Amino acid sequence: MYLPFLATTLAILPAGALNVIDLSSTPWALSNTDRNISVPGNVPSSVHLDLFAAQVIPDPYHGLNEIDLRWVPLSRWNYTAQLPTTISTSADEGLKTYLLFNGLDTFADVRLCAQLVASTDNQFRQYFFDVTDILQSPACQQQQQQSGSAELQIEFASAPTVAEAIQNQPGQETWPPYVGTVMEFSGRQFIRKAHSDFGWDWGPAFSPVGIWQKAWVVQLAEEEEEVYVRNSVFDLYREGQLNNLPPDQGAHWVLNASVDVIGVMPEGATMKYRIVDAATQREVSSGALTGIKNDGDVITGSVVLSKDDYALWWPNGLGPQPLYNITVDIVSPSGTTLSSVTKRTGFRTIVLNTNVVTDEEISQGVAPGNHYHFEVNGHTFYVKGSNFIPPDAFWTRVTPTKIRQLFDAVVAGNQNMLRIWASGVYAPDYLYDIADELGILLWSEFQFGDALYPVAPDFLENVRMEAVYNVRRVNHHPSLALWAGGNELESLELRIVRYFAPGEYARYLAEYEALFLETLVPAVFGNSRSVSYTPSSTSNGTLSIDFGRPIPIAQRYDDLAPGSVYGNTEYYNYSAAQAFNLANYPVGRLINEFGFHSMPSLASWRRVLDDADLHFNSTPIVQRNHHNPPSGLDPSNTAPSLQGMGEMTLAAQAFYPVPDKKTASSSSSAANFSAWCHTTQIFQADFYKSQIQFYRAGSSRPERQLGTLYWQLEDTWQAPTWAGIEYEGRWKVLHHVARDVYAPVIVAPLWDAAAGTLRVYAVSDLWGEVKGSMSFGWAGWDGGVVSLGGGGGGGVQGEVEFTVGAVNATLVAELSIAELRANPDFRAEDVVFVANLTASGVPPNEQATRTYTHTNWATPTPLSSAALVDPGLRVEYDSSADEFVVRAETGTSMWTWVHVHEDDADGVLVNFHENGFLLRKGEERRFGYDRINGDGGDETWKERVGVSSIWDNTLP
């Protein structure tokens, strides 16, 4: 069960007059005077959601409402509340009163009793304001006498309007052409707000405003030594550990605790700690922190903890996730506990290793250069995962339940890491809490991406405070794997500058370093020794790390030696003709982005479109497709979107039978549209599968490739995107296929047309040796075994034994395409290559040997030209086992797809445990399912589950 309070910073136990009012429970009103709108408001919330709840606007996600509702983000809005009468306003009581906001989005004037308290300009910062004098002023006293309470008003300006005004200021920073692509609204790099709120190529530009995080009123009697905890950091690291460098795994642990308070910490205050096993509630250790440093508003202390007392936390698939509750008490000189902070954490080290490749490693076949891989608790492991984007355009309606659902899918998909992409928002604590429990590492990024930024002192200071707040807030989570400065800054933006303005490159590089090295490195390293930092998500890595320098990190940029391999890569190619060309795939140490877009299912489209719009290039679908980005607000400029639609169309036509269902009725028209949507998903999955196999096999090649993060895990709305999971939680074909090729031990056939070979690898990410056997051969679409003769001619078939080393791959067989095509018994359109693997090995942190099996395939010609036959698929529900059974009775089924009938789409949302698989004639597959939109109700849907394959595309 998810217990969010365990990981939340708690301020408890103080005596005296401490009064904390949660403003979420206070009635709020949302108003716009110019439009004569006044409706109930909520905290946390946003203007769009409150207007929708009051039925002033329709569902923002329906149809073209992103465009039709543009007036909302272009207007000014007021949130108003009457402060509770439990707040004392008497000067005689000697109280200090503060307003505390964990998130105001973004440009807000805070007024109390009509008097300006402060103005804010950063969505990502925590703000607190002393309002004692205002609350006790004659104007406020008079207002309370007249109305019974003091009025708090938050007035929000239009973020796009302010951003554009800042951008157009005389003398404002400018950049060379193509730096900082405009999605829809412009000026995002000048303000500290989620960039994706201004549009992205997978999401809408609603630019929401509002009180998007919790808010409080805090009253303290400072003469009674009262304080209120507003933030804190617990840092667990090995003795002697330094950021970005592998630590000594035999060293003891250090707990460093630092607590930020509202109020004044009394001189002589001390700190105590207690560590409890979260599962058993057994106390493991307790005592006093030493080396106390009291700065009045921050108190810090540390203690050395025995390395033998704590079980290690491991990522998914690499071991268990033991968690501990650490409580730190702040104690006054008189012995009174002023406040306590409890956080749930785990003991682990996680390092991004960018060290130079050693001579010994080079002698073993590793290419010279620098590493770029992760090590957990001293163990190198293969990163398997995807990229996480904002799961909704309105973060305030994202719930722990939704994140739990997504992260359960991550675990089920054999993934161990997510990259929390820059240009959204900093993830909430509950997201890290769930990742802690499930063993999902989170590559976390500061919110900068695809742009360069101003370096005016006030901008840098704003960023520094944002960074310090968020680093301290989430550092205790064992799932925190890395801080990256931003997205595609070195791989894209600096290279654009070098190309278009080489004479100004030195200037812009210095500005880049002022923000991403000189500002963000101290924010991370000054608050944590347990986490690594890299300035840019995709880069050639570090040139050197030297803690004798003020800024220890020096980036490599393009200082590259021939024949060496550096850093991490990304790959996007939207030419269908080049999709499966292995020669195009980048060679690097880790790949953190790659992908291709696809359509969501008909069931998803039906949630947001009218029936008349359910066809491939309908106006709403084209305008909801933001690839390529529209680069402005003109809804009539559909050329970029049509280009993206064309890319999906050409890919589907090139590689698969083209759906051509009869369109005499609306139902058959929808069926044709559904088949087209599904075919784009099959191409997407097929393309990702090809790349994941290539990168995983790269663990054995000179690049020693040790990580794969595809773009992207999930959708933010219903639209053509790169997602593997649709907005409502339905798995696309991609997530099923990624789950399969992310299994610990797989067979990976790599069809290299340029090299003229089919290479078949056994791949393992286990930490020990794996032994097994692989059988492979050719199957006909009619289900029979195709014999191509022995020896040459591509007729290699039978069984081969193999051994794979730790986190590695072994080439098991290599077939010549030229010899294959020269074989008179070979007809490419009639056959599919099928390989089956059985192997044994010991999983990480386990003792017993486990058996692994895997099946994979490759086709020597696109399925668009294959001589497919009806596989005779049948599906039935076995109520005794609560499983579904699929059989192929007359032929080979490719891309077998089990689905809930379209008529059930609104009431039943189910993900089957297996899907998108190959099924040979006479084979059957049994699997369960997950109902992800609630249980109970009508269960007759189980009798209306259908099954199809790519052959169904050939049917009218």
Rounded Cα distance between 587 and 339, Å, is 53
Residue 203 lies in a domain: yes
Domain boundary among 217, 251, 277: 217
Residue 951, token pair as written in the block: 């052959």
Statement: residue 598 has pLDDT above 70: yes
Angle (nearest 5°) at CA 606 between 603 and 612 = 130
Q: Residue 15: its pLDDT value, please?
A: 38
Mean pLDDT value of segment 27-32: 98
Residue 426 lies in a domain: no
| Sign for the pseudo-dihedral over CA of 510, 516, 520, 525 | negative
| Sign for the pseudo-dihedral over CA of 666, 672, 676, 679 | positive
| Residue of 52, 421, 321, 90 lying closest to 210 (CA atoms) | 52
Rounded Cα distance between 896 and 910, Å, is 16
Statement: residue 903 has pLDDT above 70: no
pLDDT digits (tens, 9 = 90+) for 726-761: 999 999 999 999 999 999 999 999 999 888 899 999
Statement: residue 3 has pLDDT above 80: no
Q: Residue 212: its pLDDT value, please?
A: 98
Contact between 570 and 488 under an 8 Å Cβ cutoff? The reply is: yes
Query: How far is Cα of residue 939 from the mean position of the Cα atoms in its chain?
Result: 34
Q: Residue 905: its pLDDT value, please?
A: 52
pLDDT digits (tens, 9 = 90+) for 554-572: 999 999 999 999 999 999 9
CB atoms within 10 A of CB 803: 13
Percentage helix, strand, coil, to 5, in the chain? Answer: 25, 30, 45
Q: What is the maximal distance between C-alpha atoms in the chain?
A: 101
Q: What letter represents residue 498's amino acid?
A: R
pLDDT digits (tens, 9 = 90+) for 683-695: 999 999 999 999 9
Residue 694 lies in a domain: no
pLDDT digits (tens, 9 = 90+) for 175-222: 999 999 899 999 999 999 999 999 999 999 999 999 999 999 999 997
Rounded Cα distance between 438 and 418, Å, is 12
| Residue of 121, 153, 116 lying closest to 133 (CA atoms) | 116
Rounded Cα distance between 716 and 388, Å, is 10
Phi (first) and psi of residue 694, to 5 degrees: -65, -45
Q: How far is CA 246 from CA 24, 316, 353, in A?
A: 44, 21, 7
Q: Which residue has the tokens 């529900």?
A: 877
pTM above threshold 0.95: yes
Contact between 229 and 339 under an 8 Å Cβ cutoff? The reply is: yes
Rounded Cα distance between 631 and 625, Å, is 13
Q: Residue 224: its pLDDT value, please?
A: 85
DSSP state, residue 866:
S
CATH of the domain at 894: 2.60.40.10
Query: How many residues are present in the chain?
Result: 956
Q: How far is CA 209 from CA 108, 198, 303, 320, 587, in A?
A: 9, 12, 43, 41, 42
| Residue of 229, 439, 441, 242 lying closest to 338 (CA atoms) | 229
> Residue 835: how many CA atoms within 13 Å on its side-chain side?
24
Q: What letter represents residue 102's amino acid?
A: N
Q: Residue 940: its pLDDT value, please?
A: 85
Residue 846 designated active-site: no
Rounded Cα distance between 742 and 736, Å, is 10
Statement: residue 792 has pLDDT above 90: no
Residue 209 lies in a domain: yes
Mean pLDDT value of segment 6-28: 67
Q: Residue 755: its pLDDT value, please?
A: 86
CATH of the domain at 111: 2.60.120.260
| Residue of 214, 260, 212 lying closest to 11 (CA atoms) | 260
Rounded Cα distance between 623 and 641, Å, is 7
CB atoms within 10 A of CB 861: 15
Statement: residue 865 has pLDDT above 60: yes
Residue 864 lies in a domain: no
Q: Quick one: pLDDT band at residue 769, thresholds 50, 70, 90?
A: very high
Q: Residue 664: its pLDDT value, please?
A: 52
The rounded percent of the chain whose pLDDT value lies above 70 is 96
Give the residue numbers spanning the domain of 925: 873-954
Residue 191 lies in a domain: yes
Domain boundary among 200, 217, 234: 217
Residue 949, token pair as written in the block: 């394959």
pLDDT digits (tens, 9 = 90+) for 114-147: 999 999 999 999 999 999 999 999 999 999 888 8
Structural domains counted in the chain = 2
What ranges make up the beta strands (E) of 346-407?
350-353, 373-376, 379-380, 383-388
CB atoms within 10 A of CB 751: 19
Domain boundary among 173, 190, 217: 217
What ranges make up the beta strands (E) of 781-872?
785-786, 798-804, 808-816, 831-841, 850-858
Average pLDDT over all residues of the chain: 94
pLDDT digits (tens, 9 = 90+) for 211-263: 999 999 999 997 888 999 999 999 999 999 999 999 999 999 999 999 999 99
Q: How far is CA 937 from CA 325, 402, 880, 906, 931, in A?
A: 39, 21, 19, 13, 12
Mean pLDDT value of segment 869-887: 97
Mean pLDDT value of segment 304-318: 98
Mean pLDDT value of segment 388-392: 98
Q: Residue 789: its pLDDT value, please?
A: 61
| Sign for the pseudo-dihedral over CA of 861, 864, 866, 871 | positive
Q: Which of 596-605, 763-772, 873-882, 926-935 has the lowest mean pLDDT?
A: 926-935
Residue 222, token pair as written in the block: 């400072």
Q: Residue 658: its pLDDT value, please?
A: 94
Q: Residue 86: its pLDDT value, please?
A: 85
Cis preceding linkage at 106, omega within 30: yes
Statement: residue 550 has pLDDT above 80: yes
357: left (phi over 0), alpha (psi -120 to 50) or beta: beta
Contact between 546 and 552 under an 8 Å Cβ cutoff? The reply is: yes
Rounded Cα distance between 244 and 77, Å, is 45
Statement: residue 1 has pLDDT above 90: no
Residue 532 lies in a domain: no
Rounded Cα distance between 940 and 314, Å, is 41
Burial of 259 (0-12, 13-18, 19+ CB in 10 A): buried
pLDDT digits (tens, 9 = 90+) for 14-24: 434 589 999 99
Residue 199 lies in a domain: yes
Contact between 745 and 689 under an 8 Å Cβ cutoff? The reply is: no
What ranges make up the beta strands (E) of 23-114?
28-32, 37-41, 77-82, 96-101, 107-112
Mean pLDDT value of segment 619-636: 96
Statement: residue 667 has pLDDT above 70: no
Statement: residue 913 has pLDDT above 70: yes
Among candidate residues 375, 488, 490, 493, the one labeled active-site is 488
Statement: residue 665 has pLDDT above 60: no
| Sign for the pseudo-dihedral over CA of 884, 689, 735, 643 | negative
DSSP state, residue 828:
G
Q: Residue 661: its pLDDT value, please?
A: 87
pLDDT digits (tens, 9 = 90+) for 495-531: 999 999 999 999 999 999 999 999 999 999 999 999 9
Residue 834, token pair as written in the block: 């099928």
Q: Residue 794: its pLDDT value, please?
A: 45
Residue 527, token pair as written in the block: 């608050």
pLDDT digits (tens, 9 = 90+) for 797-851: 679 999 999 999 999 999 998 888 888 889 999 999 999 999 999 999 999 999 9
What ranges make up the beta strands (E) of 648-792?
707-710, 745-752, 757-764, 770-780, 785-786
| Residue of 390, 282, 317, 271 lying closest to 742 (CA atoms) | 317
DSSP state, residue 429:
H
Phi (first) and psi of residue 674, to 5 degrees: -60, -40
Rounded Cα distance between 317 and 315, Å, is 6
Q: Residue 10: its pLDDT value, please?
A: 41
Rounded Cα distance between 433 and 345, Å, is 9
